[in-house]
C-alpha cells in the first residue's frame, strides 16, 4: 500500500439545508469563463457544508450543442472540498427521464466523463448545454454512455465537473471529493426524484474519468459514509501507477496527455507549480501554455512525440515535492468498501495495465469485500472503451437492482469481450436508446 497522509474530513451532510430557488434556463449559453453561475463568493462557499447546493438552474440539454435531448436537466452549483481541506465550489449536471418516478424513487448513476482538459469551456456542464461550442466533441460522444446506460434505464444521472473550479485534472483527492459531493447535492435536489441518502447509487468512469471514480471508491466510507454506493466501475484505470504512465507517454504519440496531467496537478498543488516555475525550460513552458487553450481532442494531437519530461532540470519524477503529490493521489491507499469492477485492456497503449494489476493485488491482499477484474486480450485503450461497455453496464445494473457482488476477488482474461453473449444484447439495447434519444424521443420514461 502507498504510504501517504490521508485527509478525512468530519462527516457532514447537506440534507438539513433549505432548498435553493431553481433559476430558469439561461437566455444565452456562454462558456463558464464568462458565466456568473460558476462564480460564487468565497464567503458563501465557506459557510456551506460539503454537498450543499448553492445555486440551481434548469438547462436545455443537447449533444454537440445542437442535438436536443428530450429529458429534464438541471445544473447544481455545490460546495465541495479541495485536496487541502479547503472549501471550493463546482457544478454537476443532473439528467432525469421524463415521466413519473417509481414510488421508491429513482436510482442514481454518477458518470465521470474523461474531461482531461484545462480550459473551463471543456467542462461537461458546458458541453452538455444547447448552444455550447462543440469544442469538446469527445465529451459529447462519451455522454452517449450515461444517456443510454443511465437515463435510458429510468435512472437519474449525475455528471459532475469533477476537475473543480481550478481545472485540477489528475488531482484524485479533489476529483473524488467533488464527485461524492455531487452525489450528495443531487440526492438533496427534489426534481432528481431520489430518496435521499438511501438512494442506491453507482459510479462509472473510463480512462481520465477513473481518476475521480476509482479514488472515490477508496475514500467514500470515510468522506461520505451516509451514501448508499452499491458499486463502482472503472475502466482503463489511470491512477494505478501514474509515474509509469507519464514516462510511457512522454515522447510518444499521446505525449499531450503528460502536459495536461502535470499542469492539472500544478493547479491544485502549489509545490508542483513551483517545480514547474523553477525547473522547466522555456520551450517546455511554451508547450505547456498551448495546452491551457484546448480540449483533450486537440491537446492530444498537438506536438506528438514531444518529450516533455526531458525539458526539466533533472528527472522531475524524482523531485521530493513531485513524489509527495504522486503519493497523495495514488490508488491503493485504502480498500473499497463496496463492490468494484475494474476493466483494463491487457495491452493498453496509453495506460499500461501493470499499475492496475498492482492496485488489484493490493485490494485482494487486504481482503476487499468484492473485486471483479477483467483484462481483455484483443483490445487496447480506444477499442477497449467500447468493447467493455456491456460488461460494466450489466455489472452496474445488477448492483443497482440489489444483486450482491461476488465475494472476494475474481480476475478473468477474455480474449475478446465481443464473443460474450450479453455483448450483442447490450449493444443493440444501448445503441437503440441513443438513436431514439438523438431523434428526440423521451427515453427512460417507460422504465
pLDDT, tens digit only, all 447 positions of the chain = 333 333 444 344 444 567 899 999 999 999 999 999 999 999 999 999 999 999 999 999 999 999 999 999 999 999 999 999 999 999 999 999 998 999 999 999 999 999 999 999 999 999 999 999 989 999 999 999 999 999 999 999 999 999 999 999 999 999 999 999 999 999 999 999 999 999 999 999 999 999 999 999 999 999 999 999 999 999 999 988 888 899 999 999 988 888 899 999 999 999 999 999 999 999 999 988 888 899 988 888 778 889 999 999 999 999 999 999 999 999 999 999 999 999 999 999 999 999 999 999 999 999 999 999 999 999 999 999 999 999 999 999 999 999 999 999 999 999 988 888 888 888 889 999 999 999 999 999 877
| SS3 assignment, position 432 | helix
Q: Are 430 and 394 in contact (CB under 8 A)?
A: no
Half-sphere exposure of 229 (CA within 13 A, CB side): 31
Euclidean distance between CA atoms 441 and 437, whole angstroms: 5
Contact criterion met (CB below 8 Å) for 109 and 393: no
Q: Is 158 among the catalytic positions?
A: no
Q: How far apart are CA 427 and CA 308, in angstroms?
A: 39
The residue from 248, 311, 344, 381 that is catalytic is: 381
Catalytic residue among 82, 328, 348, 357: 348
* CA pair distance 205, 295, nearest whole angstrom: 18
**Cβ(178)–Cβ(80) under 8 Å?**
yes
Q: What is the CATH number of domain 242-328?
A: 1.10.260.130
Query: What kind and span of H or E run contains 221?
Result: helix 210-223
Give the whole-angstrom CA distance, residue 365 versus residue 360: 9
Contact 73, 29 (CB under 8 A): no
Residue 182 has φ and ψ, to the nearest 5°, of -65, -40
Taking Cα atoms as reference points, which of 209, 234, 412, 238 lies closest to residue 339?
234
Q: Tell me, yes or no, if the two domains 23-240+330-438 and 242-328 fold the same way.
A: no
Catalytic (active site) residue 84: no
- The Cβ-side half-sphere exposure at 247, using a 13 Å CA radius, reads 9
Q: What is the pLDDT of residue 339?
A: 98
Q: How far is CA 132 from CA 123, 137, 248, 437, in A?
A: 11, 11, 34, 18
Listed by start position, the domains of the chain span: 23-240+330-438, 242-328
Does the annotation mark 197 as catalytic? no
- CATH number assigned to the domain covering 23-240+330-438: 3.40.50.1820
Catalytic residue (one of 110, 125, 207, 388): 207
Contacts of 185 (CB under 8 A, 6+ apart): 14, 51, 52, 53, 76, 78, 92
Phi then psi dihedrals of residue 232, to 5 deg: -135, 125
Strands 229-235 and 108-112: unpaired
Amino acid at each position: 500500500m502507498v504510504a501517504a497522509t490521508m485527509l478525512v474530513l468530519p462527516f457532514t451532510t447537506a440534507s438539513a439545508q433549505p432548498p435553493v430557488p431553481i433559476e430558469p434556463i439561461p437566455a444565452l449559453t456562454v462558456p463558464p469563463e464568462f458565466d456568473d453561475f460558476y462564480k460564487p463568493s468565497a464567503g458563501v462557499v465557506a459557510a456551506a457544508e460539503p454537498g450543499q447546493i448553492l445555486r440551481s438552474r434548469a438547462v436545455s440539454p443537447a449533444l454537440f450543442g445542437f442535438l436536443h435531448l428530450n429529458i429534464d436537466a438541471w445544473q447544481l452549483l455545490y460546495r465541495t472540498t479541495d485536496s487541502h481541506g479547503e472549501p471550493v465550489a463546482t457544478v454537476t449536471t443532473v439528467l432525469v427521464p421524463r415521466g413519473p418516478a417509481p414510488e421508491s424513487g429513482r436510482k442514481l448513476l454518477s458518470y465521470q466523463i474523461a474531461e482531461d482538459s484545462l480550459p473551463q469551456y471543456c467542462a461537461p456542464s458546458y458541453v452538455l448545454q444547447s448552444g455550447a461550442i462543440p469544442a469538446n466533441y469527445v465529451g459529447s460522444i462519451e455522454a452517449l454512455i450515461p444517456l443510454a446506460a443511465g437515463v435510458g434505464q429510468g435512472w437519474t444521472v449525475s455528471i459532475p465537473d469533477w476537475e473543480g473550479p481550478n481545472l485540477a485534472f489528475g488531482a484524485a483527492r479533489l476529483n473524488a471529493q467533488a464527485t461524492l459531493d455531487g452525489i450528495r447535492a443531487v440526492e438533496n435536489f427534489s426534481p432528481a426524484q431520489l430518496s435521499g441518502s438511501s438512494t442506491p447509487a453507482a459510479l462509472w468512469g473510463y480512462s481520465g474519468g477513473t481518476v475521480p471514480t476509482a479514488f472515490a471508491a477508496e475514500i467514500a466510507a470515510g468522506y461520505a459514509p451516509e451514501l448508499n454506493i452499491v458499486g463502482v466501475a472503472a475502466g482503463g484505470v489511470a491512477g494505478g501507477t501514474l509515474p509509469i504512465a507519464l514516462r510511457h507517454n512522454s515522447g510518444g504519440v499521446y505525449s499531450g496527455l503528460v502536459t495536461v496531467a502535470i499542469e492539472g496537478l500544478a493547479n491544485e498543488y502549489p509545490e508542483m507549480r513551483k517545480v514547474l516555475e523553477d525547473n522547466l525550460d522555456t520551450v517546455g513552458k511554451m508547450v505547456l501554455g498551448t495546452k491551457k487553450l484546448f480540449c483533450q481532442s486537440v491537446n492530444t494531437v498537438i506536438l506528438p512525440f514531444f518529450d516533455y519530461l526531458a525539458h526539466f532540470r533533472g528527472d522531475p519524477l524524482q523531485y521530493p515535492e513531485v513524489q509527495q503529490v504522486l503519493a497523495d493521489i495514488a490508488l491503493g491507499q485504502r480498500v473499497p468498501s463496496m463492490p468494484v469492477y475494474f476493466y483494463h485492456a491487457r495491452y493498453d497503449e496509453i495506460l499500461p495495465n501493470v499499475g492496475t494489476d498492482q492496485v488489484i493485488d493490493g485490494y485482494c491482499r487486504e481482503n476487499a469485500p468484492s473485486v471483479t477484474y477483467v483484462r481483455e486480450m484483443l483490445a487496447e485503450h480506444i477499442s477497449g472503451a467500447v468493447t467493455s461497455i456491456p460488461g460494466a453496464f450489466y455489472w452496474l445494473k445488477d448492483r443497482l437492482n440489489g444483486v450482491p457482488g461476488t465475494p472476494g476477488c475474481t480476475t478473468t482474461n477474455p480474449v475478446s469481450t465481443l464473443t460474450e453473449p450479453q455483448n450483442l444484447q447490450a449493444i443493440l439495447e444501448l445503441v437503440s436508446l441513443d438513436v431514439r434519444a438523438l431523434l428526440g424521443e423521451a427515453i427512460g420514461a417507460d422504465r
